[in-house]
Structure 1
């Protein structure tokens, strides 16, 4: 077996990044900026992870994540760094709805992940009984949260299950494909957790959150996309990595890691690479396998991370065929509460939401649905035509859409989203504590600091900065402090 000796002088050490999703690419980009030599190894033939573009009726569209949270700086800054700044684009409309109780109802404003500051905003979503239950909240005794608590359980205790079932659940489900009654409030909605720890009325706590946000005077769009698709970001980062001298190898699974007297040996098929440091940007199950020998405690913790699977059904219609479907007009899409018993959990009207999609295909109307939540793996195994048919059936009932698509594309994301149950941040802390015992090895990705793209990039920067400091690269304590601060400030939608 070939063995490559790639040791370098201090300050120019060789780091291997394992995993070519957006976190791994961002880590590689950051490490190169610190003056380190970088090789990125991706097991599959494609870079980008859950960011991917494809074609529908000859038009390029996102088949994975479609937007980034612009109120966090990391993703927008990275896009600008790699030459995509002039292609950043806010949604053309953000007028989303909730399909519940047999009608499309406007998404209320003034809430934190579905928890209202003003109950009157929920009037169309809730029944009179649900609104009456919210009115009792200030008379309730405090609900303890301890070290952590499930979002759904806490909000239901304070405001009633209807708020959770009709709004919190579909919003959290859109981010995590999870179950609000299992998802950690401390991990997924940290500002709400802090408000709960302050005690008193939850409604008043939400108002305090909103007042603090207003005091920060944040301007600009909340979300942004990229002309051509968010799925173009990984390719642009990869090009920047190569231009800076980094090496990227796809179809190169890592088979094992071994500590040596000088650093690490990384075993791939037919080759052992001797390196100084490692950034492990792989999913939990892969990271668990690779760390089994060198850090069995971290490996066991990672093995306990659960994932949800989902499918995206993208469809293109002739615009003339949907012209009379008035329920589509003026909307960016809708969410679907699980309590209503539908199959799809959301639909995005891409041709309304993104000007670049409408401009690229003016004669088409492109939309997509998502199917699958935590514990609903059976949908992922259905045939493509079945997922298309059930999506069309739900769309017809929700909007009156009767047209047939001219093209469809089903994209399955098996094990796509890590779950953040109660205690997740404690698990992450234990993993990082154990990994920190190993020389020049760090972990990053959606498992640790949030599933959104900015959070994944922040996680990557944190890992890269710590490795660079340990190996004597160009980033010092000031950069690490900044990275840790940014990583710790998650915003709405778990990003």
Structure 2
């Protein structure tokens, strides 16, 4: 629908002008890509020495790997379509195995099926993950009085009230933590699990509500893999988009921090550390703290709202082992990895067995077994101050306890993502609505990125498309209306 919306715009007006995109993550790159399709001149400014944001490839023991996000939701169209548009369609790849586990109660236990972000529809699938007392607590749910949700409610608080804390602590928390690195007892249900929020507003049993969501999905006949990667790494996507954007005539400037934005009679002045760039429009695709600083003078209200967005930091520890050294480790076979509930008191929060999960990793390094762990949650980030070697050691200790792994890696890579994930607490969508309301008062400027509509790759791309679609028909970007720009 968004693509057809864009095409109808192209047929309705002749555009002219120059748009500056600030921020070279996937949202900023997607915005630049869409802007070019409308015929506008585009300059993208990125403060660091590379584009891609939290999508980045690297090497461990000579094997190419993702050092940031490694997969993207395939049942939303935005990321898959963008990958196809920049020549990566043939390299899209579903996981070779999606057999994940939960490391809890000192054992790797199969990930229960039939749940919605950890909220079960069938308690019978939870045996082993929950204690007998936890299962008995779920059975009480239909006898409980309704739990009000109002305009929003925390996922963990609501589920604990209906099904008991054990469901949250051992299942919901690790799954949500894998997406947001956050606290399930703070995360907004309306923002993070909107389909669940809609059914709980209808009232009745939570278990029945989960089943209704699943039945509706089945009625839509949604098929195909839930997630996809890219042969060569998801970090290949921003590289390919950047190449396409440059080929389309856009200028991409890295190591170019933006220091200030000023409205002029005909558009905007964008001040960098070396010059002032004149723009007719701006797409601001930066983290909240940066957007807050840049909007402080022109939109104090939006700036204040953005300053209130909190972030979580994390580290990824990628390790390569000789396959001959791990052959006896039975627990590494056939699994894509495991999640770790915080309540179990471990340091790592998850591990991905990359050589099992992604065929391209196995094929590119047949003599190696590559896996990675993640460390760090919202409010629990002291571990990130450890030296790289310490993070490797603690990861190996947890892996040994979980799987029996006793091998020594031949190479390791620690990647820290400081302020990597915006938090979506109760009321987040209301905050986003206030930000957008204030930003809309600024002619020719819009915001996008992980702060607004979701932290996943498709959601970031969708927010970029929304930002572009909202500004491309506004003065002075439509030919013949430049005199209206300062009004």
Q: TM-score, normalised by structure 2?
A: 0.95
Matches within 5 A, 1:426-441: 426-441=430-445
| Match for residue 15 of structure 1 among 19, 35, 46 | 19
Which residue does the alignment assign to 1:122?
126
Which residue does the alignment assign to 2:281?
277
Which residue does the alignment assign to 2:38?
34
RMSD between aligned residues? 1.0
Q: CA offset at residue 469 of structure 1?
A: 2.0
| Match for residue 291 of structure 1 among 289, 295, 300 | 295
- Is 2:258 aligned against 1:254? yes
Distance 1:162 1:293 in 2: 47
Query: Aligned with 2:473: secondary structure?
Result: helix
Distance 1:83 1:473 in 2: 29
- Superimposed CA distance per residue, residues 468-487 of structure 1 (whole angstroms, 9 cap, x where no aligned partner): 1224869xxxxxxxxxxxxx
Which residue does the alignment assign to 1:331?
335
Which residue does the alignment assign to 2:474?
470
Q: CA offset at residue 195 of structure 1?
A: 1.1
Which residue does the alignment assign to 2:462?
458
- Superimposed CA distance per residue, residues 120-160 of structure 1 (whole angstroms, 9 cap, x where no aligned partner): 01112100100000000011000000111100000000000
Distance 1:448 1:230 in 2: 22
Q: CA offset at residue 362 of structure 1?
A: 0.4
Which residue does the alignment assign to 2:180?
176
Query: Aligned with 1:448: secondary structure?
Result: coil
Contact 2:20 2:282 in 1 (8 A): yes
1:471 to 1:36, Cα distance in 2 relative to 1, 3 A: farther
Which residue does the alignment assign to 2:228?
224
Q: CA offset at residue 274 of structure 1?
A: 1.1
Q: CA offset at residue 270 of structure 1?
A: 2.4
Which residue does the alignment assign to 2:321?
317
- Which structure 1 residue ranges, 4+ long, deviate > 4 Å from structure 2? 471-474
- Superimposed CA distance per residue, residues 166-185 of structure 1 (whole angstroms, 9 cap, x where no aligned partner): 00000000000000000000
Contact 1:278 1:441 in 2 (8 A): yes
Which residue does the alignment assign to 2:66?
62
- Superimposed CA distance per residue, residues 159-217 of structure 1 (whole angstroms, 9 cap, x where no aligned partner): 00000000000000000000000000000000111111111100010010000000010
Distance 2:55 2:298 in 1: 31
- Superimposed CA distance per residue, residues 292-313 of structure 1 (whole angstroms, 9 cap, x where no aligned partner): 0000000000000000000000
Distance 1:469 1:100 in 2: 54
Q: CA offset at residue 30 of structure 1?
A: 0.4
Contact 2:61 2:411 in 1 (8 A): yes
- Is 2:446 aligned against 1:442? yes
> Which runs of 5 or more structure 2 residues have no equivalent in the other structure?
1-12, 479-487
Contact 1:285 1:303 in 2 (8 A): yes
- Superimposed CA distance per residue, residues 451-472 of structure 1 (whole angstroms, 9 cap, x where no aligned partner): 0000000000000111112248
Distance 1:441 1:142 in 2: 44
Contact 2:56 2:236 in 1 (8 A): yes
- Is 2:423 aligned against 1:390? no
Contact 1:35 1:473 in 2 (8 A): no
Contact 1:308 1:419 in 2 (8 A): yes
Which residue does the alignment assign to 1:240?
244
- Is 2:412 aligned against 1:412? no
Which residue does the alignment assign to 1:489?
none
Which residue does the alignment assign to 2:161?
157
Distance 1:345 1:165 in 2: 13
Contact 1:347 1:368 in 2 (8 A): yes
Which residue does the alignment assign to 1:91?
95
